[in-house]
Structure 1
Amino acid sequence: MNSTMIVGFLFFIAIIAFTSWYKSKQSKVSTLNGLFLANRSLGFLLVGGGLLFTNINTASIIGENELAYTNNMTVMAWGITSVLAMLLVSEFIMPFYLRLGIATTPDFLTARYGQGMGKIVSLIFLISYIVNLLPSVLYGGAIAFNGLFHFSDAWKMDYWTTIWILVWIMGTIGGLYSILGGLKAITILDILLGAGFFSVGLLLPVFGLKYLGHGSFLRGLHIFLSTHKEHLNSIGSSADAIPFGTLFTGMLLVNLYYWGTEQYIVQQVLASKDLKTSQKGIAVACFGKLISPLLLNIPGLIAVHLFTKMHNTAEVFPRLDSLVSPPFIAGFIAAVVFVAALTTFNAGLNSSSTLFVLNIYKPWLEKRSQVISEKTLVGTAKKFEIIVCLAAMFIAPFIIFVKNGFYTYIQTVNGFFNVPIFTIMFMGFITKKVPAIAAKIGLAFFILCYGLTQLVFDLHIHFLHILAILFVLTCGIMLVIGRLYPMDVPYTIRLNNLVDIKPWKNRHIYTGILLLLMILMFILLSPLVLAK
């Protein structure tokens, strides 16, 4: 364990902690609006930073670099194609949400299909966060820190015990930060992470290429671009982790769900000052996604040239960092990884309590005609965050036993929750008479069929294609039910906008630029150019 690296880590963590505390100490967390939505006061940089760095976490840093190392650059499609989905959400879905004045995405389902549907989806969200999102973030962080600081060697403990200890340390710190600070403190942490993320995104590839070139950056770059060129290919075949065809089927649906329906993501945008601010923030996040491969994928590609064999490929990123970076800078990179873990973990905790209090607990009290103060509800929300935090910390270490790669596991498990929810949301957007029973049957059909294809029957079809097929089938089933048993009174939108909904005038110009850059990245990393 390098003492200089530890000093660097503690130095930068201290700076981040102090700045975050100073900037957020005046934010009010005594109300639900302050705790969950930062009083709907976030500017576009806070919105963009919140979106980007709630999305980029240790699971993506560890998982995507692992897939770049074991497979190729096809894994970058998860992030790069997000740009198209985010721009569609910015143009069509966010104006709709802000007009409704909702606080959670199940609020729309409650308005569209009834309170029962809103509760069901809220429970599905909570299960997803508890068994998948939060544990995977903690597990990814634990792997990263053990790889960076070699705790298992320094403490003379087995790997399993070390992961348990690191998971509980990170979970405790993240839980305290979320409970005490609320959403405003979390978004401020995202901005601080942004500065560190882009610095690391430049520093680590430079150090890696210099190490590869034995002290010469240009020589390292030449080796990087001229050998193992198959790893530079982003156009996946059927044998790759991400076949190119899936970009136009299940991946598009997953990304639309994630950026337009996922509560802990959407909550960042619902807290914006107005529609124009939210659309600017989404554009900022899109630009961040386009340059994120510098940290999420390039280190994994550099590792291909340095590590011929690895017992645990999930440690690609931390091993590369500790090998090629000067100790103090390696400590800085470790601090960025630590904060990346906290941002998503904190946002997930905050959204969990939002869903529970606003969509389950509060309606239950109202049904029983019980009046409860805002202060008591805030206290309940914080207690619920503690319960969720403890559950996630218990589950996280067991991810060590999954097969087929950490990141593939995350995305496959997400299939049980993401596109099924997006499907009933989508049908709620485009239809007026499809009843609640159609949504319930559609949701059950989708989840059951997807579970059978992943756990019982091997159809030899990529799970993203399966999600697209089930999306079409479920929409058809819901339309048939809607035709046979339509709602007596068609759904009508009730406007309740709490912020200005005037759109950003220049958004189409930036949309065109961002989409062009997205396409050029796929061309650059293809057999036409670098992977030739």
Structure 2
Amino acid sequence: MLTLVSFIFFTALVGVLTYLLVRGKESESSDGYFLAGRSLTAGVIAGSLLLTNLSTEQLVGLNGAAFGDGLAVMAWEVIAGLSLVVMALFFLPRYLARGITTIPQFLAGRFNETTESITNAIFILAYAAILLPIILYTGARGLSGILDLHELTGIQNDQTILWMVVWMIGIIGSIYAVFGGLRTVAISDTINGFGLLVGGAMIAYLGLQWVGDGDALNGWTTMRDAEPKRFSSLGDADSSVPWPTLFTGVLLLNMFYWTTNQQIIQRTFAAKTLAEGQKGVLLAAGLKVFAPLILVLPGMMAYHLDTKGELFSADRVQVMASEARAAFDALADAERSAALAAEDASIDEEVAIENWVSATVQSQKKDQSYGSLVRQVLPKPLTGFFAAVMVGAILSSFNSALNATATLFSLGIYRRYIRPTADETAVVRSGRVFGTLIAIVAMCVAPMLAGQDSIFGYLQKMNGLYFIPIFAVVLVGMLDRRVPAWIANVALVAGFAAIALGYFAFGDWMKQVELHEFHFLGIVFVSLVILMEIVAFTSPRVIPEGALPDNDESLSPIPMTRWPLAGPVGAGLAIAVLLIYGYFAVI
């Protein structure tokens, strides 16, 4: 009960503080609602970037991946530091020089309105069908584990708890995002961000103490000695992140996420100056380099404790196994055959079924490991506090994705095609209505994600569908003015189609030839870039005489003076990334 009371108190406190800080601020104009009036400072930008990213698809998903694969999954965090350096030094000045609100607006200026429309459609579909449901699903998993909702409510059915928590989070998040705008999202992010960093560090320290019988340093040594291979920064061939993929799909997905993903970088467009934007992005980069302490180490501790039978109770494991067996029994004959296809044909069918059930239970453990660890290592009052912080993290990512979706619809579709003459109030209203509809769709889809082998792996796989073609077009658009609009549009559609075919039609073939999905993404990216450059060479775009260069800063709505220390700080962060990888590669 004390956990629940402290959870409600801290959740309400953040809501009240956010309301007091944004009360009376402009949110009825499109700049005020979608970009917080272009007034964000470095600290708010860094906090909002971090908490939008450090949501439950990271807390639950990445720690779950670490539960399965060990330290190698830190690639998703450490390489993010490099990507943010590139964002601060290369991409951000070009975005802010144009005074844009969305990435599709940038593409409209560089190519044409068709490019903008295609990108808008891809972003909106991806956020509604992939990102928002995953945020809600992982949030529900994490929260139910921390608060032990099975015990608290007396409801043992996992799906019932899942639906209840998904809708609770979705409704609260919709109120924040739909009625508050980006300023509300950014302010609540900053407040929750502080709590998340403090709480996450406490969990890492207390977890190590638990493993080490009261000595955190001994806890680290105990885990490393028990499973030395799990402490390598370089994943082997069986890992979800084999080390060669660091130079192909993993790098590209990271680059898109931190330089081109509307959900993440929208707060950087709201910077009051370029210098503030660069400082905020680089501050976030510095913190991301050390994020594995919060997002990877707990998952590794959870795995160690699970091998000793100390993470999940025997009763809870039995419930998982019963639910998995019931799920198998409910499958149609064809689905059963497909489920058992990976098993050795020579073994008894009942043994094969038990193996399938065991693998399903292990998958459930991945998704529930972080919440179970938090519940066991934190004192009751602090468990409620961290649950409130986790709700803040969930709401942050959900709010940001929902706000980004509303922005894309209102400015890219509603104002351009539905009501070109709409005033500011009508544009904002359209975003609120559309955001509400998308939230409802996401709340319906989220519970259906139960049963994925790795929810974080599923997220990265699905992200590849749209990350790669959009990043290729944005990057080429910045680097080569000769590329005509029509081939950029072809690249967007062809890239999306090629990756979808590779995933869903030729997935088995890729496994047979041992072509990793991340390498496949790298091949598609390079192919798209080569295709666009061939057309640029053979049939270049005609650039009007006297046209301003793409990076001209004279029309920017904010001061474009660069931060003098941006270059040295960026170089220092890049060196830190290499040192971290080198140390854990040979440890």
Which protein is bigger by CA-based radius of gyration? 2
| 2:433 paired residue among 380, 383, 391 | 383
Residue 532 (structure 2) aligns with: 478
Which amino acid in 2 is paired with 1:342? L
Structure 1 residues 65 and 108: CA distance shift in structure 2, 3 A:
same
Gaps of 5+ in 2: 310-316, 318-360
CA distance in 2, matches of 1:282, 1:515: 14
| 1:86 positional shift | 1.1
Distance in 2 (CA, whole Å) between partners of 1:433 and 1:524 is: 43
Report Cα offsets for 1:376-423 as digits up to 9, x if no partner.
Answer: 221111111101111111111111133x31100000000101011011
Distance (Å, rounded) in 1 between the aligned partners of 2:210 and 2:193: 26
Question: SS state of the match for residue 10, structure 2?
Answer: helix
Which aligned segments of 4 or more residues in structure 1 are displaced greater than 4 angstroms? none
Q: Distance in 1 between matches of 2:534 and 2:222?
A: 58
- Measure, in 2, the Cα distance between the counterparts of 1:70 and 1:175: 33
Matched, 1:432 2:430: no
1:372 is displaced (CA, Å) by: 2.3
Q: Which residue of 2 aligns with 1:217?
A: 216
Alignment pair present for 1:179 and 2:178:
yes
The residue that corresponds to 1:55 in the other structure is 53
The correspondence of residues 175-254 of structure 1 with structure 2, limited to 5 A, is: 175-254=174-253
Matched position secondary structure for 2:440? helix
Alpha carbons 2:147, 2:384 under 8 Å: kept: no
Structure 1 SS opposite 2:450: helix
Aligned partner letter, 2:131: L
2:89 and 2:567 in contact (8 A); partners too: no
Residues 386-405 of structure 1 correspond to what in structure 2 (within 5 A)?
386-402=436-452, 404-405=453-454
Aligned with 2:236: secondary structure?
A: coil
TM-score normalized with structure 2 length = 0.86
Q: Deviations over 1:342-364 (max 9, x none)?
A: 00100111111111111111011
Matching of residue 345 in structure 1 with residue 398 in structure 2: yes
- How far residue 225 of structure 1 moved from its aligned partner, in angstroms, is 3.4
Distance across 2 between alignment mates of 1:216 and 1:40: 48
Give the distance between the partners of 2:92 and 2:77, measured in 1 at CA. 20
8 Å contact 1:201–1:292 — kept in the other structure? Answer: no
Per-residue deviation, 1:449: 1.7
Q: What is the Cα deviation at residue 485 of structure 1?
A: 3.4
Amino acid at match of 2:17: T
Number of residue-to-residue matches in the alignment: 522
Match of residue 496, structure 1, among 552, 555, 559: 555
Within 2, Cα distance between the matches of 1:254 and 1:220? Answer: 33
Structure 1: which 5+ runs fail to align? none
SS in 2 for 1:60: helix
Q: How does 1:284-299 map to 2 (within 5 A)?
A: 284-299=283-298
Is residue 523 of structure 1 aligned with residue 572 of structure 2?
no
- Cα offset, 1:216, TM superposition: 3.8
Match of 1:447 in 2: 496
Q: Which residue of 2 aligns with 1:88?
A: 86
Deviation at 1:157, TM superposition (A): 4.4
1:183 Cα offset (Å)? 0.6
Q: CA deviation at 1:136?
A: 0.5
Greater displacement, 234-243 / 492-501: 492-501
For each residue in 1:286-335, what CA deviation from the matched residue of structure 2 results, as whole angstroms up to 9, or x when unmatched? 11212211211111111122112762121010011112221111111211
Partner SS for 1:39: coil
Comparing 413-422 with 200-209, greater Cα deviation is found at 200-209
The aligned counterpart of 1:412 is 461
User: Separation in 2 of the partners of 1:418 and 1:481?
Assistant: 22
Distance in structure 2 (CA, Å) of the matches to 1:228 and 1:35? 50
CA distance in 2, matches of 1:354, 1:232: 42
Give distance in 2, aligned partners of 1:432 and 1:215.
61
CA distance in 1, matches of 2:458, 2:532: 29
Q: Distance between the aligned counterparts of 2:496 and 2:249, measured in 1?
A: 15
Tell me how far 1:210 sits from its aligned partner: 2.2
Deviation, 1:117, is: 1.0
Indicate yes or no: 2:76 matched with 1:74. no
Whichever residue aligns with residue 45 of structure 1, its letter is G
Q: Which moved more, 1:222-231 or 1:184-193?
A: 222-231
- Alignment check: 8 A CA contact 2:101 2:269 kept: yes
User: Residues 524, 483 of structure 1: CA spacing in aligned structure 2 closer, same or farther, 3 A cutoff?
Assistant: closer
Measure, in 2, the Cα distance between the counterparts of 1:210 and 1:256.
36
